[in-house]
């Protein structure tokens, strides 16, 4: 099975089978039947792509209520340290976080169910980050958590040159 469980319920690491030869490589980035086997299939309605340079830290973002989103995230080129936080108040893992490196070389993907905040920091010179969402973006439902909130305690990796964070992300409240 190409999935690894994590300590957070429903959060799955997908490691596709990669076929490589002298031409390059090939892998299925998404196959609904494979994801259905682990109850992680979603009707994805929106694909997003972001390009960022070393030290750019995005997050921790979420959409609340009816606009909540499940996501399937991956990196096409470069590398990021990806972080997910359980923000479901009734969950036994409420406010616990999980982090892993996603890169264009390791081809890992992370399936993030609804009810999680998400963010990442670019650890390579540049990175192209893709994610599928099962719900449309709704600006009125957007929320966020401070990346450095001590109540959560995310252990972000040090990045040469430090972090580059937009004011909007620095303005998210702490718990």
Residues β-bridged to residue 126:
53
β-pairing, 116-122 vs 126-133, is unpaired
Task: Note whether 63 and 143 are within 8 A (CB).
Answer: yes
Catalytic residue among 61, 101, 163, 164: 61
Task: Note whether 12 and 6 are within 8 A (CB).
Answer: yes
The separation between the first and the last C-alpha atoms of the chain, rounded to the nearest angstrom, is: 37
Annotation says 107 is catalytic: no
Other C-beta atoms within 10 Å of 22: how many? Answer: 4
Annotation says 131 is catalytic: yes
Q: How remote is the C-alpha of 153 from its chain's centroid?
A: 17
β-pairing, 12-14 vs 109-112, is antiparallel
- Which of 163, 142, 139 is closest to 58 using CA atoms? 163
β-pairing, 116-122 vs 57-63, is antiparallel
Catalytic residue among 111, 116, 131, 147: 131
**Catalytic site residues?**
61, 131
């Amino acid at each position: 099975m190409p999935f690894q469980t994590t300590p957070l319920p429903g959060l799955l690491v997908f490691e596709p089978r990669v076929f490589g030869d002298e031409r390059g490589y090939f892998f299925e980035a998404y196959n609904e039947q494979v994801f259905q086997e682990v109850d992680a299939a979603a009707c994805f309605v929106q694909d997003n792509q972001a390009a960022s340079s070393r030290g750019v830290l995005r997050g921790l973002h979420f959409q609340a209520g009816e606009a909540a989103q499940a996501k399937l995230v991956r990196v096409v080129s470069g590398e990021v340290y990806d972080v997910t936080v359980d923000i479901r108040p009734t969950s036994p893992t409420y406010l616990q976080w999980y982090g892993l490196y996603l890169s264009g070389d390791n081809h890992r993907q992370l399936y993030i169910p609804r009810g999680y905040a998400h963010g990442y920091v670019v650890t390579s010179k540049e990175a192209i980050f893709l994610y599928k969402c099962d719900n449309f973006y709704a600006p009125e439902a957007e929320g966020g958590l401070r990346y450095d909130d001590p109540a959560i305690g995310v252990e972000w990796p040090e990045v040469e040159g430090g972090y580059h964070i937009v004011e909007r992300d620095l303005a998210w409240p702490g718990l």
